[in-house]
Structure 1
Amino acid sequence: MGQIATALLLPDSAEMALIDRAGSRTVPVRALMEHAGRAVARAVIRHGAPCRVLVLCGPGNNGGDGYVAARRLAQAGWPVAVAALSPPRPGSDAAAAAGEWRGPRVAFTAAEVARADLVIDAVFGAGLSRAIDAALAEVLVAARRVVAVDMPSGIDGATGLVLGYAASAEMTVTFVRAKPGHLLLPGREKVGRLVVADIGMPETVWDAVTVRTWRNAPGLWQVPGQAVDSHKYARGVVSICGGGTMPGAARLAAGAAGAAGAGLVRL
């Protein structure tokens, strides 16, 4: 697959799991997690001045990214604390990242969230498939400012649907590629400024995974060139179906298809 085409891919959570698995054969998950957390910290530092930060960490790899981001921000001189929804699974890469956090840990409560100037939401990423519970929603509601890791918690990364509740983030930092839920409503309105960070995923992963969704852009489309023996069917046929009483949009589409170089346009 060409470089332009792969840049437009929008993998869903199942496809990203395959991408992560393929990439981990070359780059360890722990290294990718370190790169991801560092990317979050860099984006936050560029986003605004130092302030009191609370990182909300879930038990999975999204939480692992949060622990790394907390450590990196603290190393940069920011006042940072961590609140864990629940601890990572012992022996996991997220547990290793959590073990390297030496800073303050506070309770995962709305009161602690309300004290922070900025909350980094690393609870659940784009792979969430069930509604978040009322207790978690209560904690997220208390945040005054939010930066999300991968996806604001509560948004289905494949559809953009809000599963129960999702805070409106000022910025969302995701990795490798954007996901469908970043661009589809209503999730798109919750994402804020979207930062897609390169975390060193090998380009060979695209040969191992079939991604079914793309961002629409000129890189996907090419008009066939003309040769001396070209005819209208060699340049493609466009058929447009429009309403009988309000054909304006269909006529505009037909004119655009002709202007773009279609060989034959049928309205």
Structure 2
Amino acid sequence: MTSRNHRLFTPEEMGLADRLSAESGIDSFALMERAGQAVAASALKHWPDALRFVVLCGPGNNGGDGYVAARALASAGAAVSVYHLGDPQGLQADAREAKQIWHGDLAPLAAYVPTKGDVIIDALFGAGLSRPVPDPVAELISAVNDLELSILAVDLPSGVSGRHGVVLGAAFRAARTVTFMSRKPGHLLLPGRELCGELEVFDIGIPQRILDRAGGKLFENHPDLWRHTLPALSSNTHKYRRGHLAVFSGGASHTGAARLSAAAGLVSGAGLVTVAAPSDAISVLAPALTAVMLREIDNTSSLQSWLDTAKLSAFVLGPGFGVGSKTRDFVRLLADRSVVVDADGITSFKDDPAELFTLFANGPTRLVLTPHEGEFARLFPDLAESEGLGKVEKAQAAAKRANAAIVYKGADTVIAAPDGRAFINTNAPPWLATAGSGDVFAGIIGALLAQGVPAFEAAAAGVWLHGEAANASGPGMTAETLIPHIPSAFDLLHS
């Protein structure tokens, strides 16, 4: 597989692909015909005993797909009823032609009374919806969802933003969704992902060369995108070549987070891992560490001395470290190094985020920030509050502003680079939402940075590996039991 298999198209990019196809001489109605036929085939395959297929057709090309699907279902002998939104005489181009060659029953949407046993083909809006659904549609959606009728969505369940995955007023909960050529962000971002049901992607015949011209920098996170950046072990590999990761610990009563990060870093391939801790934490940490080394670092003076004399490759700062001026002082000393700033490290800059961004503004990307929703709002309050931006756009804007790889965490984690690339992650199970899992995650990324993986690729790989390790751990996972499964996640990269 290649990166093409994982590319996501925004509704605007898919619209561009459609236009480029028409300009190249491809019959656009033939594309609509294939799309509608694919919808009908899916409906017949998954609901062969349906009493009636109810096709809801909207005022655009999504509705055109619906008219084609209705004709194909009727030709197969199925009972079909079609209901339209708006004036069907106002349909344009291909959608108008599709409606004209539908010779079955046709009634206004308001005439439809949801009935047990109906299988609904939702062809109202598709992926391009950008404003809340009209009130009559919202009322119908509520009635259909309450009856738990089976729904096959065309492109996306009506009411779900194809760009942002959010619900615009109300949305159908589909059992299945058929989309065309490529997935859209709304198929992967929440809550859209959960409203799509099973997703089918059907190739209607747009050439790859056109998709390559129309497509952007958004992908589903997958090893095909970053596997080539990971280090390969060879016979002359030694521990220093695999990098030295330093993890900073908090005081005596706050050492657990650093131990989790350090242990994760060690099994993720760092040749050496050292926990840097204040003097009062040394006696607590020493009995708990074996292969992980320990260094007493109390202040900026001792840190600077260590940086001047030791061969250190990457750093993790924040988990359990504490919020305040010491954290900011340590980050200043690490500004020319590869650093994962997480948790307390992020919060320490909430009063002046620009200071953090300025420290890493120049040169190649070497900072990885891993905020959850609340931490993101502390560093990027204007972006967090913007109603016009979705999660992907917020992460992209944050990455550019901070010159950092941004991991905007959540059940639909987004990883973004300053150059505009963004990945949406999909493999994380819900049981990752447990204390300490973020500390483990920071350690994985730190180890990859220590081995020379570029910041964005290290962040993307860390997210995916974290998710796969959690899947292997199972629902009873804790942060401690997650760590032994990290090597098996790496093994999947070579299977």
| Local SS of the residue matching 1:136 | helix
Structure 2 CA distance for partners of 1:64 and 1:37, relative to 1, 3 Å: same
The alignment of Structure 1 onto Structure 2 pairs a total of residues equal to: 263
Name the residue aligned to 1:66. 66
Question: Does residue 78 of structure 1 match 2:154?
Answer: no
Name the residue aligned to 1:44. 43
Name the residue aligned to 1:161. 166
Q: Kindly state the Cα deviation for residue 220 of structure 1 after the two structures are TM-superposed.
A: 0.5
Q: Structure with the greater relative contact order (CA < 8 A, sep ≥ 6): 1 or 2?
A: 1
What's the % identity of the aligned pairs? 41
Q: Kindly state the Cα deviation for residue 33 of structure 1 after the two structures are TM-superposed.
A: 0.3
Name the residue aligned to 2:16. 18
Where in structure 1 do 4 or more consecutive aligned residues deviate above 6 Å? 226-230
Structure 2 CA distance for partners of 1:265 and 1:54, relative to 1, 3 Å: closer
Q: Distance in 2 between matches of 1:16 and 1:238?
A: 40
Q: Distance in 1 between matches of 2:98 and 2:169?
A: 29
Q: Distance in 1 between matches of 2:111 and 2:222?
A: 42
What's the TM-score, normalizing by structure 1? 0.87
Task: Tell me which amino acid in the other structure corresponds to 2:75.
Answer: Q
Q: Which moved further from structure 2: 18-27 or 107-116?
A: 107-116
Structure 1 contact 176–201 (Cα < 8 Å) conserved = yes
Q: Distance in 2 between matches of 1:136 and 1:210?
A: 32
Name the residue aligned to 1:187. 192
Task: Tell me which amino acid in the other structure corresponds to 1:59.
Answer: P
| Local SS of the residue matching 2:68 | helix
Q: Distance in 2 between matches of 1:68 and 1:224?
A: 51
Structure 1 contact 10–213 (Cα < 8 Å) conserved = yes
Task: Tell me which amino acid in the other structure corresponds to 1:187.
Answer: G
Question: Does residue 242 of structure 1 match 2:318?
Answer: yes
Name the residue aligned to 2:407. none
**Which protein is bigger by CA-based radius of gyration?**
2
What's the TM-score, normalizing by structure 2? 0.49
Name the residue aligned to 2:114. 113
Structure 2 CA distance for partners of 1:46 and 1:241, relative to 1, 3 Å: farther
User: Unpaired segments of 5 or more residues in structure 1?
Assistant: none
Deviations, residues 197-256 of structure 1 (Å, cap 9, x unaligned): 1111111113312413100011111225578999669xxx76544321689533454346
Q: Which moved further from structure 2: 255-264 or 54-63?
A: 255-264
Name the residue aligned to 1:92. 93
| Local SS of the residue matching 2:179 | strand
Question: Does residue 149 of structure 1 match 2:338?
Answer: no
Name the residue aligned to 1:104. 105
Deviations, residues 184-204 of structure 1 (Å, cap 9, x unaligned): 111112111111111111111
Structure 2 CA distance for partners of 1:264 and 1:30, relative to 1, 3 Å: closer
Structure 2 CA distance for partners of 1:135 and 1:216, relative to 1, 3 Å: same
Structure 2 CA distance for partners of 1:259 and 1:101, relative to 1, 3 Å: same
Q: Kindly state the Cα deviation for residue 34 of structure 1 after the two structures are TM-superposed.
A: 0.4
Structure 2 CA distance for partners of 1:210 and 1:53, relative to 1, 3 Å: closer
Q: Distance in 2 between matches of 1:90 and 1:167?
A: 23
Structure 2 contact 129–159 (Cα < 8 Å) conserved = yes
Structure 1 contact 53–116 (Cα < 8 Å) conserved = no
Q: Kindly state the Cα deviation for residue 83 of structure 1 after the two structures are TM-superposed.
A: 0.7
Structure 2 CA distance for partners of 1:90 and 1:133, relative to 1, 3 Å: closer
| Higher helix proportion (structure 1 or 2) | 2
Task: Tell me which amino acid in the other structure corresponds to 2:178.
Answer: V
Structure 2 CA distance for partners of 1:91 and 1:146, relative to 1, 3 Å: closer
Task: Tell me which amino acid in the other structure corresponds to 2:171.
Answer: A
Q: Distance in 1 between matches of 2:20 and 2:454?
A: 43
Q: Distance in 2 between matches of 1:200 and 1:161?
A: 29
